[in-house]
Amino acid sequence: MDATVTPEGSLEILSREEIVRLRSRGEGGLQDIFRKCALAVLNTGGTEDDVRTVMRKYADFEVAIIELDRGVQLELRNAPESAFVDGRMIRGVRELLFAVLRDIVYIGSELAPGGRLDVASPAAITETVFQILRNARALRTQADPDLVVCWGGHSISRVEYEYTKDVGYELGLRGLNVCTGCGAGAMKGPMKGATIGHSKQRIRNGRYIGVSEPGIIAAESPNPIVNELVIMPDIEKRLEAFVRLGHGIVVFPGGAGTAEEILYLVGVLMHPDNADQPLPVVFTGPEQSRSYFERVVEFLRAALGEAACRRFEVIVGDPARVARAMAEGVDQVTRYRHSREEAYFFNWNLVIDEDFQQPFEVTHESMAALDLSRDQPPHRLAANLRRAFSGVVAGNVREDGIRRVETEGPFELHGDPAIAAALDEVLGRFVAEHRMKLPGREYTPCFRVAR
């Protein structure tokens, strides 16, 4: 499908330099990354999780920037037909398409040499996360705390998916909004359920926020429920955005990506300076997923100790109880921040160690060099375990990671015998339960744990 698309309302205003970057494929150019992210949005609701499969399927897709006196238009060639109805682009898809344009341009300009943002220190990184979210209008200064972040896998069973919808429904009935990674499975279900809960309560401005990053969104297109999309520069800033935006976190079953999120969250909350920070965290799934959470808890206990298990609650098979725990926890967050005159819309005072903020470049050398020993503070070990799972995610769905595994073989991980055994066990279970790829897709492990 060919089309010329304009944003609704006033046109996006871009500088000549920004337009040059969007058209350029060279160093500092944004054309390739914008094309991939634009295709992902146009393929909203797609069922692929391999970026190269998507790119091959739409190899002739092109997007061009048309400069006008009053702004810009996007000229699309050979776009997915599913983005259109009777020749007109679906309104929600068009909104997400220009959200991608907004974030890619902002990040490309402000993080480029000479830009206003930098990542030279932990405080500067947090400031960058704040500025990107503010530019995306994701920060609502007049709203009371009500945002629940939902994590979980894109490859889950039908029973687990229906359960995520049930939880989302109960959250929606209690006036809570939902933020996820924007993809399928446990990222779509809570949003879909919340729309029904909001509808029953006549809540017409429900928020279904998707937070992604270029390497992930290119493989996992946004689900159709997302009505606010934010693209962060990398995984680490994406994770920081979740924990600074959210007022509570629900974790559903998942694979390596969910384990990465869990380790990030647990590691951050284990920092001594966050001991008094209220943040409700619930791990939940249907009764059929009980053993999944038992293994996850066993892994956290074996790797990080009992302290790692004190910052979350496990609730199995009871969506209403999950939602009540979130509502009560969010009330506690509200009282805590109000008493200290802290912002509701962005958790500035959560301490995030630099080990969780610095981008991890996934290579065979960096994966093999990860320190997975107990000769370090628990929150630092959690940071390195998070990187290990991030590498597995890269090998599963990111274009650069997949290519490295194909040319050099699986990533190899080393660690203390007990930690290596626990890591091998939990990853092996993810593979056996088909949590690494979408149902029906063949999976060859991209990792090997040396024991």
Q: Band of the pLDDT at 52, cuts 50, 70, 90? A: low
Strand partners, 413: 449
Indicate the pLDDT class of residue 9, thresholds 50, 70 and 90. low
Helices 417-432 and 256-269 sit at what angle, rounded to 10 degrees?
Answer: 140
User: Amino acid identity of 344?
Assistant: Y
pLDDT for the residue numbered 147: 98
| Residue 112 · residue 297 · CB < 8 Å | no
For the cut 70, the answer to whether the pLDDT of residue 440 exceeds it is: no
Q: Residue 289: which residues within 8 A CB-CB, separation 6 or more? A: 160, 163, 253, 316
Per-residue pLDDT at 1:
86
Give the pLDDT of residue 28. Answer: 66
pLDDT of 380 over the 60 cut: yes
- Residue range 140-339, CATH number: 3.40.50.450
- Provide the pLDDT for residue 11: 55
d(C-alpha 80, C-alpha 92), whole Å: 15
* pLDDT at 2 > cutoff 60: yes
Could you read off the pLDDT of 200-241 as tens digits, one per residue? Answer: 999 999 999 999 998 888 777 899 999 999 999 999 999 999
What residue ranges do the domains of the chain occupy?
3-112, 140-339, 355-449
Query: What integer is the mean pLDDT of 105-118?
Result: 84
User: Residue 53: its pLDDT value, please?
Assistant: 72
Res 71 pLDDT > 90: no
pLDDT reading at 267 higher than 60: yes
Give percent of the chain with pLDDT exceeding 70: 95
Hey, what are 251's tokens? 């974790």
Backbone phi, psi, residue 423, to 5°: -65, -45
Which residues have CB under 8 Å from 221's CB, separation 6+? 40, 41, 43, 44, 45, 46, 48, 54, 183
Does residue 12 have a pLDDT over 80? no
Taking CA atoms, 308 is separated from 266, 268, 427, in Å, by 6, 10, 19
**pLDDT at residue 10 in the model:** 52
Q: Write down the pLDDT at residue 221.
A: 86
Q: Kindly state the average pLDDT of the residues 84-94.
A: 93
How high is the mean pLDDT of the chain? 91
Share of the chain above pLDDT 90, in %: 70
Could you tell me which residue, 199 or 400, shows the higher pLDDT? 199
Q: What is the C-alpha to C-alpha distance for residues 259 and 265, in angstroms, rounded to an integer?
A: 10
At residue 319, the pLDDT reads 98
302-322 mean pLDDT: 94
List the single range of 42-51, 113-122, 188-197, 273-282 with lowest mean pLDDT: 42-51
- 3-112 placed in CATH 3.40.30.10: no
Q: Which amino acid is at 340?
A: R
3-state secondary structure of 74: strand
Exposure string for 111-134, b = 16+ CB within 10 A, e = fewer: beeeeebebeebeebbbbbbbbbe
pLDDT at position 128, please? 96
> Which of 105-114, 136-145, 304-313, 334-343 is predicted least confidently?
105-114
pLDDT at 383 over 70: yes
Lowest mean pLDDT among 139-153, 286-300, 306-320, 394-408: 394-408
What secondary structure, in 3-state letters, does 337-393 show? HHHCCCCCCCCCCCCCCHHHHCCCCCCHHHHHCCCCCCCCCHHHHHHHHHHHHHHHH
Q: How far apart are CA 187 and CA 258, in angstroms?
A: 11
Stretch 395-406: mean pLDDT, rounded?
Answer: 89
